[in-house]
Structure 1
Amino acid sequence: MRSEEEILNLIINIAKEDERIRAVYISGSRTNSKVKKDIYQDYDIGYVVTETKSFLEDKNWISVFGDIAIVQEPDLVDVSFGIKRDFKSSYTWLMLFKDGSRIDLGIETKEKMLNEYSKERLNMPLLDKDDCLPKTSPPTDEDYWVKRPTELQFKGCCNEFWWCLNNVGKGIARDELPYAMWMFNVVVRDMLIKMLEWYIGINTNFSVSAGKKGKYFKNYLPNKFYEMYSRTYSDSNYNNLWESVFEACELFRDITLIVSKHFGYNYNQSEDINMMEYLRKCKSQ
Structure 2
Amino acid sequence: MRIREACPEESDCLSEIAIQSKAYWGYDDWFLNSCKSDLTLTERYIKQNPTFVLESNNEIHGFYSILLVKHRLDHFFISPKSIGQGYGRKLWQHMVEICTMWNFSSLTIESDPHAEGFYYKMGANWIGETESTVFPSRNLPLLEVIFDHDHNFRNEEKMRELILQYAKLHEPIRGAIMNGSRVNPNVTPDRFQDYDIVYFVTDVEPFKQEKNVLPHFGEVMLIEKPEDKILPAPLADGRFTYLIQFMDGNRIDMQFVAVENIEEKLQDSLTEILLDKDQIFPDLPSPSERSYWIKPPTEKLYQDCCNSFIWGLGSHIPKTIWRKELPLLMTLIDGVLREPLIHMLKWKVGHDNGYRVSVGKAGKNLEQWVEPELWSRFIDTYPDSNYDRIWSSLFAFHDLFLDTALEVGRAHGYTFPIEEMDRAIKFLKNVRQTANKNP
Paired position in structure 2 for 1:164: 312
Paired position in structure 1 for 2:129: none
Whole-angstrom CA distance in 2 between matches of 1:141 and 1:74: 26
Paired position in structure 2 for 1:75: 227
SS at 2:229 equivalent: helix
Whole-angstrom CA distance in 1 between matches of 2:312 and 2:276: 50
1:226 and 2:375 are equivalent in the alignment? yes
Whole-angstrom CA distance in 2 between matches of 1:57 and 1:144: 33
Paired position in structure 1 for 2:291: 143
SS at 2:240 equivalent: strand
Paired position in structure 2 for 1:248: 397
SS at 1:202 equivalent: helix
Name which of 215, 231, 243 aligns with 1:94.
243
Distance 1:22 1:280, change over 3 A: same
Whole-angstrom CA distance in 2 between matches of 1:164 and 1:126: 46
Distance 1:283 1:25, change over 3 A: same
Whole-angstrom CA distance in 2 between matches of 1:153 and 1:41: 32
Paired position in structure 2 for 1:134: 282
Paired position in structure 1 for 2:413: 264
Judge conservation of contact 1:117–1:134 (CA < 8 Å) in 2: no
Letter aligned with residue 174 of structure 1: R
Comparing 44-53 and 212-221, the one that deviates more = 44-53
Whole-angstrom CA distance in 1 between matches of 2:383 and 2:397: 11
Judge conservation of contact 1:90–1:112 (CA < 8 Å) in 2: no
Give the number of equivalent residue pairs: 281
Paired position in structure 2 for 1:18: 170
Paired position in structure 2 for 1:108: 257
Judge conservation of contact 1:95–1:103 (CA < 8 Å) in 2: yes
Letter aligned with residue 336 of structure 2: V
SS at 2:275 equivalent: strand
Structure number with higher relative contact order (C-alpha < 8 Å, ≥ 6 residues apart): 1
Paired position in structure 1 for 2:361: 212
Judge conservation of contact 1:145–1:209 (CA < 8 Å) in 2: yes
Deviations 1:178-198 (A, max 9, x none): 222221111221110110001
Whole-angstrom CA distance in 2 between matches of 1:162 and 1:84: 32
Letter aligned with residue 240 of structure 1: R
Letter aligned with residue 281 of structure 1: N
Q: By how many angstroms is 1:136 displaced? A: 2.4
TM-score by length of 2: 0.61
Whole-angstrom CA distance in 2 between matches of 1:218 and 1:256: 18
Whole-angstrom CA distance in 1 between matches of 2:317 and 2:171: 56
Distance 1:263 1:82, change over 3 A: closer
Whole-angstrom CA distance in 2 between matches of 1:82 and 1:39: 30
Q: By how many angstroms is 1:33 displaced? A: 0.9
Q: By how many angstroms is 1:28 displaced? A: 0.8
Whole-angstrom CA distance in 2 between matches of 1:82 and 1:162: 30
Q: By how many angstroms is 1:284 displaced? A: 1.0
Q: By how many angstroms is 1:50 displaced? A: 2.2
Letter aligned with residue 245 of structure 2: L
Whole-angstrom CA distance in 2 between matches of 1:229 and 1:17: 50
Whole-angstrom CA distance in 2 between matches of 1:70 and 1:58: 13
SS at 2:213 equivalent: helix
TM-score by length of 1: 0.93
Name which of 265, 270, 277 aligns with 1:117.
265
Q: By how many angstroms is 1:58 displaced? A: 4.7
Q: Greater share of helix residues, 1 or 2?
A: 1
Deviations 1:56-111 (A, max 9, x none): 24535312111111000011114x6665625xx42110001111100011112211
Letter aligned with residue 348 of structure 2: Y
Letter aligned with residue 265 of structure 1: Y
Judge conservation of contact 1:168–1:181 (CA < 8 Å) in 2: no
Q: By how many angstroms is 1:19 displaced? A: 1.7
Paired position in structure 2 for 1:192: 341
Letter aligned with residue 137 of structure 1: P
Judge conservation of contact 2:226–2:234 (CA < 8 Å) in 1: no
> In percent, how many aligned pairs have the same letter?
36
Distance 1:70 1:191, change over 3 A: same
Q: By how many angstroms is 1:276 displaced? A: 1.1
SS at 1:119 equivalent: coil
Paired position in structure 2 for 1:85: 236
Whole-angstrom CA distance in 2 between matches of 1:217 and 1:62: 36
Judge conservation of contact 2:270–2:291 (CA < 8 Å) in 1: no
- The alignment yields a C-alpha RMSD, in angstroms, of 1.7
